[in-house]
Structure 1
């Protein structure tokens, strides 16, 4: 099994878990506010559906007809760079729940097919740097996991952590430089050693063994932090070194301007 196949299988499972949670909700359940300001459960699911559809259009841009469709998406984003994504989510969220789920199901299937069929060695255009199919699948997994957390929290549920979050942890480490850059800060020269304990008990590592700075602790806490679903002070992560601690204070693995993060509990 290739890395892409594993990613897509994990993405399918993560999406299936969220779908099972929301499928039986009534109208009030779909309208439940989530931690994202102005977003309901329906908006969260709609955002995932809309972004999957846009990613399919990006994958289709390798054909002349597909490029026209993708260029229309880019034009729309340029006309409203700050509100484009929210507008897409709210538009899809207005659908009846059954239609919203059907649209998300279709988009999930189409995305997996498009990424598996994408020409080897090429990259998909995106709103930031172009992405390989594997990178796109990783990004879609991260978003699905993070937005599912918001839905679970809104509904008073706590999903069981799984080792699938390794994809989020990997992305969190890879975006260390971006976290500093998006705050207009210089990236510390020394790369820290990262050692995280997976939900299943395995130790996941990144970075040089000889590094003098490090980040250690539960992988789940790290993933919550880099997706800004928890305040730094509410994690069990241990940072050694000024650069490592500065990173955890601003860690962000999703694209866009600096997120507001979460308030400290209590």
Structure 2
């Protein structure tokens, strides 16, 4: 199987894990607020359905996606949130069915993209493999919000390596979002896999700036699902410390992050 097929398989499995959490919920439960300010469980699933549709559009109808970019440009601050809010109004059973159908459609679309094709997106264009990786990341992050809401567990798996990889790769992106110049210093990331004794590694072994710890906590950091102080990560070196405060692997405006646990402050949702 190709890399894209492997990633799409992980994307499908990650969505199925979240599906297991929401499939048995009562309709009223879908209106439960999540840690993402202003977003219910329906918003979380609706956003994933909406984004899967956009990814399918990019992969199958580039001109149609260009038109969508024009619509987004008219209201960039609210375009994504409006899509989630609209989806959240759909009756839960219908929304769940549409999300399931959309997941199957985007999976088929991505494995059909010709090799070497760059897909337009709301951020930089990307390959089908990168698009699948981004869908894994976002599905896991929103799934974590739902799990936190329900007091449930979203068992970490080796699929988190995809999330960690995009987290490392978007180091410069986070600086640019904040209007800062990305550092040129090497960064070493060493993460303990969640379901084995494997160590996942990025960057030169002798780098002074380092992030080490559980892969799950690193993924929580780069998706802004936990405040840095709530994570069991060891961050050393001034550039690594600075990055840990702004790390962001999702497209859009700079995220506001999450308040430390136990705080009464509101939280961002991306």
Q: State whether TM-score is above 0.5.
A: yes
CA contact (8 A) 2:41 2:146 kept: yes
Structure 1: runs of 5 or more not aligned: none
1:42-92 CA distance string (max 9 Å, x none): 110000001000111111135xxxx1x223311211111111111111112
What is the rounded CA distance, in whole Å, between the counterparts of 1:161 and 1:52 in structure 2?
A: 22
Correspondence for 1:4? 4
Please name the residue that 1:84 is paired with: 79
What is the aligned partner in structure 2 of residue 234 from structure 1? 230
Give the whole-Å Cα distance in 2 for the aligned partners of 1:239 and 1:81. 34
Matches within 5 A, 1:1-266: 1-62=1-62, 67=63, 69-200=64-195, 201-266=197-262
Counterparts of 2:119 and 2:31, CA distance in 1: 34
- CA deviation after TM superposition for structure 1 residue 246, in Å: 0.8
Aligned partners of 1:119, 1:128: CA distance in 2, in Å? 21
CA distance in 2, matches of 1:58, 1:30: 29
Query: Which one has more relative contact order, counting CA pairs under 8 Å at least 6 apart?
Result: 2
Structure 2 residue ranges without an equivalent (≥5): 263-270
User: Counterpart of 1:59 in 2: which secondary structure?
Assistant: helix
Report the TM-score when normalising by structure 1.
0.95
- Deviation, 1:96, is 1.2
Deviations 1:72-123 (A, max 9, x none): 3112111111111111111122111121111111111110111111122111
Root-mean-square deviation (CA), in Å?
Answer: 1.1
Which whole-Å deviations, capped at 9, do the CAs of 1:182-240 have from their partners, x for residues lacking one? 11112122121111101022100000123222111111110000000111111111122
Quote how far apart the aligned CAs of 1:162 are: 1.0
1:128-186: CA deviation from partner (whole Å, max 9, x where unpaired): 11110000000001000000001111111121111110000000100011111111112
Give the TM-score of the pair, scaled to structure 2: 0.94
Count of aligned pairs between the two proteins: 261
